[in-house]
Amino acid sequence: MKFDTPATTNPIDRLKVVGQPVDRIDGPFKTTGTAHYAYEQHEAVPHHAYGYVVGSSIAKGRIVSIDLTRAQRAPGVLAIVTAKTAGKLDKGKFNTARLLGGPEIEHYHQAVAVVVAETFEQARAAAQLVRVDYARSPGKFDLAAAKDSARKPDRGKSDTAVGDFAAGFAASAVKLDAMYTTPDHSHAMMEPHASIAAWEGDKLTLWTANQMIDWGRGDVAITLGIPKENVRLISPYIGGGFGGKLFVRSDALLAALGARAAKRPVAVALPRPFMINNTTHRPATIQRIRIGASKDGKIQAIGHESWSGDLPGGDPETAVQQTRLLYAGANRMTATRLAVLDLPEGNAMRAPGEASGLMALEIAIDEMAEKLGMDPVEFRILNDTQVDPEKPDRPFSQRRLVECLRTGAKRFGWEHRATRPATRRDGRWLVGMGMAAAFRNNLVMKSGARVRLDRNGRVTVETDMTDIGTGSYTIIAQTAAEMMGLPLDRIDVRLGDSTFPVSSGSGGQWGGNSSTAGVYAACVKLREAIAQKLGLDPNAANFEDGKVAVGQRSVPITQAAAAGDVVAEDSMEYGDLGKRYQQSTFGAHFVEARVDAATGEIRVDRMLAVCAAGRILNPKSARSQVIGAMTMGVGAALMEELVVDRRLGFFVNHDLAGYEVPVHADIPHQDVVFLDETDPMSSPMKAKGVGELGICGVAAAVANAVYNATGVRVRDYPVTLDKFIDTLPPVA
Amino acid sequence: MKPFTYERATTPAAAASAAARVPGAKFIAGGTNLLDLMKIGVEEPAHLIDVNGLDLDTIEPTDEGGLRLGAMVRNTDLAADARIRRDYPLLSRALLAGASGQLRNKATTGGNLLQRTRCPYFYDTNQACNKRLPGSGCAAIGGFSRQHAIVGASKSCIAVHPSDMAVAMRALDATVETVRPDGSTRRIPIADFHTLPGNTPHIENVLAPGELITAVTLPRPVGGTQLYHKVRDRASYAFALVSVAMIVQPDGSGRVALGGVAHKPWRVEAAETEFPKGAKAVATRLLAGAQPTEGNAFKVTLVERTIAASLAEAKEAKA
Ligand SMILES: Cc1cc2nc3c(=O)[nH]c(=O)nc-3n(C[C@H](O)[C@H](O)[C@H](O)COP(=O)(O)OP(=O)(O)OC[C@H]3O[C@@H](n4cnc5c(N)ncnc54)[C@H](O)[C@@H]3O)c2cc1C
Ligand code: SF4
């Protein structure tokens, strides 16, 4: 099915099941430990061995020699694979660095060997006996130092310009020109990257934690040099990904290589430090923002430049993206520059681009409002745009940012914010409020599904879509139930298997809308097939309460499958509505924070997000997504930083004791409001994404609240007490 | 992890003599620190002596009017003990500021005193670290040192002792009781228990090989207002950037010990004579000769401000 004209009324609009806050179908399995993650597939693969990865201890250079003698003799060892013994390996389409290094080493903890043994403990003990002799070569590890060597990236738009930014900025009455930095971030999801590999002849099955089954299947095939048909990926449950599991990582490859060498299925999980230095991370940025406005607060010129680094062949963090679309202004420019850094591979993490970009932009907007003597909410409203500012004849499909801002301000009690910073005090605490706009583009991806009605009246949905903790199982079941006029408990959803139709996968907040749209398409086909079997006019048939009805005639849906299952398969593809209309999601974040006047410790008190993101398919799971994202935003604001050792070239704080993420005590009262919205341009579901919108702008709202509390502006994240303690007034 | 042998000790003296008998032996109590380090190859004991079964898990009054805390008393139980909460609230607060509920349920009095530094380079066996591998160098110097020491450090090591409990015990003048492999016992004032790194950062305390901690004794309660102020980037489950353990008496005199600044709980008794002059004077004496790194110079300011906040709070509590 192709979606190329705006959606009209369809069965989803009944909202009997879709749009209801139903519980997650997978919830009971997860809380009882019966949802088996990749590394726990002991029933599917009973006698597997364990592989333990050896990572490079240098950041750049070459392996001179590897001594495996002691490791090979260690108890229980079955096989050891290195680049030398692995056979020819290619690099996956989505990988920047090779998953098995050697002799050349591209980054710290790049895998150089996998040791396979009977037990996990034996594999780990033997891995610690592998001796690798390296020759280091000098590398570049410092983004600030490499900034001036940064170049236009090979892929993507590196520069945009509209009007005359330089002249517009120069002529503006009120100006801001400021630099901001964001550090490298780790996805830090609970479940580590983990895989079990089993070969049957030349066919490989991988149980693996992966967000994008088809991409993964393709990259495993490319890397191993085998036909894609010979690879099966299975990923029914994923313990969080945040982009860290978009691509095949070393656990999957080394499980496959280990299993081939040991002639036994092999399980490999990456230990936490490897998740940080072996896999991907959100790259650090340096950003320059210039905004010029007239005295009455209209933006005349807006410019955003961003620098980030990656391994050779890698990509930039596209931090300027939202600045092209968020605010009005006739004169505009953006520039993206990429430096070569020999740190581990940078890549997508929750809301890539916007998350980092808004961390800077939304502080800058706060600074501008202050310079103008305007309320930051009003300043944003004044500079709203209903069209793409670069192409004024291209409207937004929906844009209710102003309503988000106004609703949020009202519900949060924004009028109680002190307009002068550092003037509100509560005992030993300085108290402040801050806010920011949220913006994240809406992406749609082709997505397919297969649906089957059986004679018991149950409908089974199969798609290689993944549920990374987001609620995919549930919203897909809701979609099928709504389409087929069945109660939710008559739907079975099977996900994450590459033998199922290819879906959108989970990423870029496209999964919810795109995968359910694919299920919609398949259900439309199934409805036709069922109506035909029942001798009813498919176009007139109404599917409701387990019956199919046309006029007076009403037949139980089960009758259609009396002689055998009815099966339909289809996918949803997209026309050019995304080109004709700018599709984005919007929100506003409000934060109250307090700062210990003596120590500078920052604690968030309460948070509110108001989101306009199309139809909300399940308000409960959507809310969970947004509060999780807000929590991550607090982390980005106040504590998360992968610290680079600029001499040795690696992230030093590579465990969860050193890389701090918020704990319960950090997360106070959170409120989420969804505006009642449908977007007929996005899909027949009229939905968009929320999982990434929720993090966009949060960190800036926190930083702005801290500024409002202390009067000290910190432009380098995370906002930690060491960056401003010297400027706090003496302790009373 | 290196393969190891394991035994359960039956008496403290037997545990100590077993430890001396088997080369490379270590005691294991709650295991919350030791097991983590074994898994990543930082600690490689050949033999573990489990001391969990020893009868050392009670809190008893001493003849001097204080309390004897068995080495195996869990941090959770110690923090919750009514006598501790009434007479030594500082200790209870420090314990509750540390780790998490689950960890405190396992962590023991003895193990907590002997927990090892959280220097990230110590934890990464690829990196130079004199504490882990004497003579290999110190990767933290010139590297990431935000959490590291500002006083008492050396050219060999700038690590800090991460315990909260020990800082309170230092302020309370606790005494560590031990039994040695030959069965003899001794009492070590907590001030002398932990050592500075010097040229031997792998040595962290004065215990002899095989010496087992049996108890920590607290002297008679000293009263006063007792505060433990732990400063950290997140609200819970984080090691201290700095911590201040303070006891202030009604006459304004008091004691102060610091965590997060040195290779051991940091107390300079002479600094306490400065209490009447205020935080700056106290902090200046406490941190005399401080040599922070570029990455942790803020701790000097932070110590002074946290002391000031504690003094202010003590004053308020009295009023
Ligand atoms: C994630 C995390 C966060 C933490 N956060 C904090 C924190 O904020 N503040 C804090 O203070 N601590 C914190 N801790 C550390 C925790 O307090 C210690 O791990 C715990 O106190 C150690 O006690 P244990 O009984 O488990 O020791 P074990 O791990 O069993 O032993 C530690 C050491 O002591 C030796 N030992 C144990 N008992 C004896 C004895 N009786 N005599 C001689 N030697 C002995 C062992 O041989 C070993 O070398 C944290 C730990 C973790 C894992
Ligand atoms: S500070 Fe001490 S523990 Fe850390 S690397 Fe240096 S020697 Fe090792």
Is-contact A123 A297, C-beta < 8 A?
Answer: no
Q: Whose CA is nearest to atom 2 of ligand 2?
A: B157
Interface contact flag, B238 A660, Cβ < 8 Å: yes
**ipTM strictly over 0.95?**
yes
Average pLDDT value for chain B: 97
Is-contact A52 A124, C-beta < 8 A?
Answer: yes
**pLDDT band of A181, cuts 50, 70, 90:** very high
The pLDDT, as a whole number, for residue A668 is 86
Nearest CA in chain A to B122: A652
Query: DSSP assignment, residue B194?
Result: B
Q: Do domains A48-138+190-240+245-277 and A285-442+583-727 have the same CATH topology?
A: yes
SS3 B33: coil
CA of B30 to the centre of ligand 1 (A): 7
Is-contact A657 A451, C-beta < 8 A?
Answer: no
Enumerate the residues of chain B whose CB falls inside 8 A of the CB of residue A722. Answer: 146, 241, 298, 302
The pLDDT, as a whole number, for residue B3 is 87
CA of B213 to the centre of ligand 2 (A): 25
SS3 A64: strand
The pLDDT, as a whole number, for residue B143 is 98
Enumerate the residues of chain A whose CB falls inside 8 A of the CB of residue B1. Answer: 121, 124-125, 128
Q: Whose CA is nearest to atom 6 of ligand 2?
A: B138
**pLDDT band of A18, cuts 50, 70, 90:** very high
Quickly name the fold that domain A48-138+190-240+245-277 has. Answer: Aldehyde Oxidoreductase; domain 4 (3.30.365)
Ligand 1 proximal residues by C-beta, below 6 Å: A 657; B 26-34, 36, 51, 71, 98-99, 103, 106-108, 110-112, 114-115, 162-165, 212-213, 239
Statement: residue B199 has pLDDT above 90:
yes
Give the angle subtended at the CA of B98 by the CAs of B96 and B101, to the nearest 5°: 65
* Cα–Cα distance for residue pair A324/A318, rounded to 1 Å: 11
The pLDDT, as a whole number, for residue B17 is 96
C-alpha dist (Å) from residue A275 to A185, A331, A631: 12, 42, 20
Note if A121 is an active site residue: no
Q: Which two tokens stand for residue B302?
A: 């932070």
* Cα–Cα distance for residue pair A480/A22, rounded to 1 Å: 14
Is-contact A83 A38, C-beta < 8 A?
Answer: no
The pLDDT, as a whole number, for residue A662 is 98
CA of B305 to the centre of ligand 1 (A): 29
pLDDT in tens, B51-103: 999 999 999 999 999 999 999 999 999 999 999 999 999 999 999 999 999 99
Enumerate the residues of chain B whose CB falls inside 8 A of the CB of residue A637. Answer: none
Statement: residue B214 has pLDDT above 90:
yes
Residue A60 CB burial class (10 angstroms; 0-12, 13-18, ≥19): buried
The pLDDT, as a whole number, for residue A425 is 96
C-alpha dist (Å) from residue A424 to A297, A416, A547, A597: 26, 10, 63, 11
CATH class of A285-442+583-727: alpha beta
The pLDDT, as a whole number, for residue A482 is 98
- Domain regions of chain A by residue span: 2-35+444-577, 48-138+190-240+245-277, 285-442+583-727
pLDDT in tens, B110-120: 999 999 999 99
* Cα–Cα distance for residue pair A405/A402, rounded to 1 Å: 5
How far apart are the CA of A486 and the nearest CA of chain B, in angstroms?
Answer: 45
Interface contact flag, B234 A645, Cβ < 8 Å: no
| Best CA proximity match to B283, nearest among B246, B236, B249 | B246
User: Cis omega (within 30 of 0) on the bond before A718?
Assistant: yes
pLDDT in tens, B9-53: 999 999 999 999 999 999 999 999 999 999 999 999 999 999 999
Q: Which amino acid makes up residue B38?
A: M
For the residues A303-318, what does the mean pLDDT come to? 98
pLDDT in tens, A331-365: 999 999 999 999 999 999 999 999 999 999 999 99
- What is the three-state SS of A369-390? HHHHCCCHHHHHHHCCCCEECC
Which atom of ligand 1 approaches the CA of B97 most closely?
Answer: 8
pLDDT in tens, A258-267: 999 999 999 9
pLDDT in tens, A115-127: 999 999 999 999 9
For the residues B250-271, what does the mean pLDDT come to? 97
pLDDT in tens, A624-666: 999 999 999 999 999 999 999 999 999 999 999 999 999 999 9
The pLDDT, as a whole number, for residue A680 is 97
* Cα–Cα distance for residue pair B89/B105, rounded to 1 Å: 19
Give the percent of chain A with pLDDT over 90. Answer: 99
The pLDDT, as a whole number, for residue A308 is 98
Statement: residue A499 has pLDDT above 80:
yes
User: Sign (positive/negative) of CA torsion A421, A424, A426, A428?
Assistant: positive
**pLDDT band of A199, cuts 50, 70, 90:** very high
Statement: residue B138 has pLDDT above 90:
yes
Q: Kindly list the residues of chain B whose beta carbon comes within 8 Å of any beta carbon in chain A.
A: 1-3, 39, 41, 118, 120-121, 123-127, 139, 142-144, 146, 229, 231-239, 241, 279, 298, 301-302, 305-306, 308-309, 312-313
pLDDT in tens, A586-603: 999 999 999 999 999 999
Statement: residue B1 has pLDDT above 80:
no
How far apart are the CA of B97 and the nearest CA of chain A, in angstroms?
Answer: 12
For the residues B227-235, what does the mean pLDDT come to? 97
Q: Residue A655: count other Cβ atoms within 10 Å of its Cβ.
A: 18
CATH class of A2-35+444-577: alpha beta
Average pLDDT value for chain A: 97
Contact B67 CB / ligand 2 (< 6 Å) = no
Q: Which two tokens stand for residue B7?
A: 């035994």
For the residues A132-149, what does the mean pLDDT come to? 98
The pLDDT, as a whole number, for residue A507 is 95
Residue to mutate among B6, B117, B132, B144, with most A CBs inside 10 A, is B144
**pLDDT band of A578, cuts 50, 70, 90:** very high
For the residues A86-112, what does the mean pLDDT come to? 98
pLDDT in tens, A442-494: 999 999 999 999 999 999 999 999 999 999 999 999 999 999 999 999 999 99
The pLDDT, as a whole number, for residue B90 is 98
Contact B153 CB / ligand 2 (< 6 Å) = no
HSE-up (13 A, CA, CB side) for residue A108: 28
Is-contact B112 B163, C-beta < 8 A?
Answer: yes
Q: Are strands A650-651 and A644-645 parallel, antiparallel or unpaired?
A: antiparallel
